[in-house]
Structure formats: C-alpha cells, structure tokens
Amino acid sequence: MIGRMRILGPTLLIMALLLIPLLLIAPSGAADEPLEFLSAQEEQRFNRLIEELRCLVCQNQNLKDSDAPLAKDLRLQVLEQMRAGNDDAAVKQFLVERYGDFVLYRPPVQSNTYLLWLGPVFLLLLGGAIVYRTVRRHRDGDPDREGVQ
Amino acid sequence: MKRFFPLLSFAGLAVLLFFGLGNADRKQIVPSPLIDRQAPAFQLPVLDQPERLISRDELLGQAYLLNVWASWCPPCRLEHNIVTQLAIDGPLPVYGLNYKDEPDDAQRWLQTLGNPYALILADRTGRTSIDFGVYGAPETFLIDAAGHIRYKFVGPLTAETVEHELLPAIAALDTGQRGSP
C-alpha cells in the first residue's frame, strides 16, 4: 500500500503540473468579451434585456445565450443604448427598427399576431368543449358505448 | 359526416404540414423592416484608401447594389462569380460592403478571386451593417437613386435568384430614377 502511494505521489504531481498551462489558457477565452458594468443594477437590467432579444444567427437562442459574433456585437449595442439613457422600450425599438419584430422573444400583440396570442386560448376552449361533450354523453349513457360494455 | 371527421382532420393537417414544411427554408429569412425606407446614414472608409470617407448621401443620384461580404465568409466565395457577372453585365454598379474584415485579408481575397466592385466600403466594426439589419453575410441590397432600400436578399446569390428576384426588382425601379450603368 505504501509502495503504491510512493509511485502514485509523483505521478499525481506530474499530472497536476501538466494541468497548469490549461489554467493559464482557460480564462483568456472568457475574457473575450470584457463587458464591464457600472453597477449591479445596470448589469441586472442588461441581463434582463438580452434575455428578451433574439439572436438573428441562431434563431432559437436569445442574445444572452448565443456565442455568435453578431450576438456579441448586438449585446454591445444594447449596453451602449442603455448608457445613452434610453429606456427598455427604446433599446428594443432600436433593434426592431433594424431587424423587425422578430428580434423580440415576446412578440407584440397586434393584428398579425392575434392568432399567435389567442390561438392557444381558442384551442383550449375547443378541447374543453369536446371533453365536456364526451364526458356528458358517457354519463347520460351513449347507446353506442353501452353496447360495447 | 361524423364518420369523415378523422379523415378530414388528417387531410387538413397534411395540407398544413405540406405548406408549412415546404416553406421552411424561407422561414429562416428574417423580413427586413428597412424595405422601402431610407437607407441608414453611414460614413465609411474605402477599403484600399482608408483616408477617403464615403457617406450615404454621396452615393445618392444613382441606384446601386450593395453587396455585404467578408473574406472569412465561405458563402461569399460561393456567390462571387455571380456578383462578378452582375457587375459586368448588370444594369447597376455593384458596391461592396466589407463586413468585419481585416483589410489585408480582404485585399488578398480580392487578388485571388478578382474584384468585381466599383467601390468597396470597409465596415470594420460592423456597426453600419447592424444599421442595415445585416445578420449574416452575404447579403445584397438594392438601393434606388433616392437612397431607399428597395430589395434585400439574404444568403449567396445564385443565377436563379438574380434572374427571378433581383433583376425584376431592378426593373421595377422607376426608370426615371435609374442612372446609367
């Protein structure tokens, strides 16, 4: 047991030493985007905004999650717009003017999105009505069903 | 009637999916809100003369095509022959918007493949491109003599899209506005 420890010891040490360069490399990737915030409040607001904006390159990701270079540029634009004193609506409007409503993860309620917003409610009502009718028919004793039993 | 309900539902769903999935490619394309609007203002250096700045308003008076490209963009290479053809045979001058590129890389690319552009503006930061709503190179804009964006194509141009989309869009410009090539 002790003999094995003696061999393991130096091996572990060498392995640990080999890992040191990795430590030196790793942080440089993260430092690729040195966004510095003036306050925790600003950071919070920034994070909330980029969560609600879509990355145009990888369209199922928001600006916060995306690694695409364009997402990085757009995050920078968002921060600049915030620092220019624009409120949330104005920051979003800045991107909508360039990329359309598509950049908004939460689409606005307007004539061409009624189906999107009200469709699920309609389907829920429709499904509810079908369930209600089916259940009632079973309870009242549907002739077809009674035949099966 | 009730008996046919499942069949009808299936048929309805099939039609819906057929058209929905058939259009899947086009759905990736984000419609630009800038169509028929004034092109965003810009002031950019010319690629091979960095001290010479060109603004949007200096390009007014003649319709032109603005092709967004970069040396790091493989699909740009794909459409390069088409863009070259368009610059030689097409009715309008073709300007390049070099998007987030290293000038040296861009020059090397042009030396290798040829330079079809009448003028190349260098957008190193990508800011002007964001103003144009660019989200993936290559993109091609048709801008009329009054400076309005009249048509936009996202992705590499093909002979087919030039013939069926771009040239008709150019032909639809008011003839009075069109400058001589």
pLDDT in tens, B34-67: 999 999 999 999 999 999 999 999 999 999 999 9
Alpha-carbon gap, residue A10 to A15, rounded angstroms: 9
Residues of B in contact with A77 (CB under 8 A): 130
The CA distances from residue B121 to A36, B88, B96, B116, in Å, are 31, 19, 6, 13
pLDDT of residue A23: 59
Among B28, B32, B126, the residue with its CB nearest the CB of A100 is B32
Check whether B85 has a pLDDT greater than 80.
Answer: yes
Q: Which residues are CB-contacts of A59 (< 8 A; sequence separation ≥ 6)?
A: B28, B30
Check whether B28 has a pLDDT greater than 60.
Answer: yes
Alpha-carbon gap, residue B152 to B137, rounded angstroms: 12
Among A69, A96, A98, the residue with its CB nearest the CB of B131 is A98
Domain boundaries, chain B: 1-30, 35-171
The mean pLDDT value for B87-107 works out to 95
Among A73, A77, A99, the residue with its CB nearest the CB of B30 is A99
Q: In which residue ranges of chain A is pLDDT below 70? A: 1-8, 21-33, 142-149
More confident residue, B100 or B180: B100
**Does the predicted interface ipTM exceed a cut of 0.95?**
no
Domain boundaries, chain A: 35-108, 109-141
Token pair, residue B122, equals 């260098």
Alpha-carbon gap, residue B95 to B121, rounded angstroms: 8
Token pair, residue A106, equals 């939460």
H or E element, residue A104: none
Residues of B in contact with A56 (CB under 8 A): 30, 135-136
Packing angle, helices A88-99 and A69-83, rounded to 10? 140
* Residues B31, A77: C-beta atoms closer than 8 Å: no
Mutate to test the interface with B, among A74, A98, A144 (most CBs of B within 10 A): A98
* pLDDT tens readout for residues B146-172: 999 999 999 999 999 999 999 999 999
Coil, strand or helix: which one is A79?
helix
Q: Is A70 on the interface with B (CB under 8 A)?
A: yes
Alpha-carbon gap, residue A139 to A137, rounded angstroms: 5
Q: Is B34 on the interface with A (CB under 8 A)?
A: yes
Mean pLDDT value across chain B: 90
Q: Which long-range contacts (CB under 8 A, 24 or more apart) does B168-177 make?
A: B169/B142, B170/B63, B170/B90, B170/B91, B170/B92, B170/B142, B173/B63, B173/B142, B173/B144, B173/B145, B174/B144, B177/B63, B177/B144, B177/B145, B177/B146
State the CATH class of domain B35-171: alpha beta
Q: Is A57 on the interface with B (CB under 8 A)?
A: yes
User: HSE-up of A81 (CA within 13 Å, CB side)?
Assistant: 20
B71: number of Cβ within 10 Å: 20
pLDDT of residue B179: 43
State the CATH class of domain A35-108: mainly alpha
* Residues B130, A73: C-beta atoms closer than 8 Å: yes
